[in-house]
Amino acid sequence: MRLVTLALEARDALARGDLAAASRAANALIADRPDDADGYFLLGIAAAEAGGIAKAVPLLESAVARGDDPEHCAQLARLLILMRRDGDAAAMARRALDLGPGDARTFDTIGCVLVRLGDHARAIAPFTAAVEAEPGNLDYRYNLAAALGFTGAVEAARVHYEHVLKLDPGNGRAHYALAILSRQTRGDNHVARLKTALDAARGKDDALRIRYALAKELEDLGEAEAFRHLADANARHARNLRYDFAQDAAIFDAIEHCFADGGGDGIAAPMGPPMGKRAPIFVVGMPRTGTTLVDRILSSHPDVVSAGELQAMPLAVKRLSQTTSRVIIDPDTIRASRDIDPAQLASRYLAQAQHHRIDETARFVDKLPANFLYIGHIARSFPDAPIVCLRRNPMDTVWSNFKNLFASRSPYYAYSYDLMATARYYARFDRLMRFWDRVIPCRVLQLSYEALVTAQERETRRLLSFCGLEWDAACLSFHENKAAVATPSAAQVRRPINSDGMGKWRTHADALEPVRRWFEDQGIETG
């Protein structure tokens, strides 16, 4: 009886946020019954809630070793994915699911781990089970809606988002998700509802997402008013981020210095092993420039699968550089990475990437846009891997970055909430791509988004040839690709190729004039 009381006491303390009391009860439980799993599990959860994930993982591993409990396995999987131990997390999530969870939270946790692994289709079942067990939990329903949207079940996703908003009309996440779920039209949009929701917004996060949703829908309708809401949202977000362009400039400087020494010896020096037709395909570029479109074209080929936007290369470089900074990329990490053995980097990358590959028999595409920062590392570690960089009109690139709400924890896109910072970032990106052309000529296919849109078959043939793939007409019907898409471009790439995105910046030409003039001063053509 005492053991049950201690376990309930620990859980109650966790529920009210009293981590000290939860830890005391869990420690007492371990002392009384060291072979029982619950004490280790509850102590581990208390440690994780206190921010000590590295301390929590061994405790949860001890719990799992003492008995097969799906809750324990699911929570361990959640912590492992936070530590970027993707393979261990995947195995533990599968184990939790096989054990047959009996509660909504465990089902939802398993679904969230699968989403982090890029397996959105498989996440739908546990998310559905969570909603069926607790239909009133709006977080669980939101997660299910998001997974449905990513996998193309747009109408089903819409029903769940609307259910969330019926019970919580000010839910900013649901408003924004609905706005980007599909292209809005004059006859079918949420503009009036969004304006009402914005006036009644309770918290800063909800108001921020509602502003982005409103700007997106007004942009779909071609309304210049979109800029005012977007500028307001970005200004508020930028104040919280406290971004300084000098941080990114220092990273670009470090990359150029690292790989320019000795006339390019930084890349010519020892290479990783050639992989031939097994080599990954890297699709890079500024975000919102067509990287998802190219990923869909390539993964429509029968011999290719998309692995999504992998963090495998940044993580491998960071871990092998052994720098102590908390950020994934900084000048010190770039400098230290010069001494990494290319074969070891390739091995680390592939080990991390394989847990995100649904089909291990096919070649895979890694479409993390920011991998353009790692082109030198890719060229050294994968000497025959195709690297495709998307190039888009500079003004459209700036506007598309400025109007997108990126993940708040992304280490790459903090520049995008200020117009001139985005312009400066584009200029450094452009300079870096010209740098790669000099030090590793012909290694990167720089593919024009505009050319792809206006001459689809010609550019698709060029793309496939560069990647060492045979021609396949299915690549022209990329919009019929059933694979999940977890980027803001999901709605666009489910439509046939079109020129709707070209020249969109001109709707806001007056507001963007300072950017255009600055590009002109830098010698960057804006078309």
CA angle 168–172–173, rounded 5-degree value: 100
pLDDT at residue 278 in the model: 86
pLDDT at residue 497 in the model: 83
pLDDT at residue 263 in the model: 42
CA-CA distance, 516 to 423, in Å (whole number)?
9
Summarised one tens digit per residue, pLDDT across range 431-444 is: 999 999 999 999 99
Instruction: Measure Cα distances from 341 to 25, 258, 337, 372 in Å.
Output: 48, 15, 9, 20
pLDDT at residue 492 in the model: 72
Fold of 245-521: Rossmann fold (3.40.50)
pLDDT at residue 3 in the model: 53
pTM of the entire structure? Answer: 0.89
The sheet with strand 304-306 has its strands ordered as: 304-306, 363-366, 281-285, 387-391, 444-448
In total, the chain counts a number of residues equal to 527
pLDDT at residue 239 in the model: 87
Q: Where exactly are the structural domains of the chain?
A: 169-242, 245-521
pLDDT at residue 35 in the model: 92
pLDDT at residue 264 in the model: 43
Ranges of the chain whose pLDDT falls below 70:
1-4, 261-270, 358-359, 408-409, 411, 486-491, 493
What lies within 8 Å, CB to CB, of 508 at 6+ separation is 224, 226, 227, 399
190-194-197-199 Cα dihedral, nearest 10 degrees: -150
377 neighbors 318 (Cβ within 8 angstroms): no
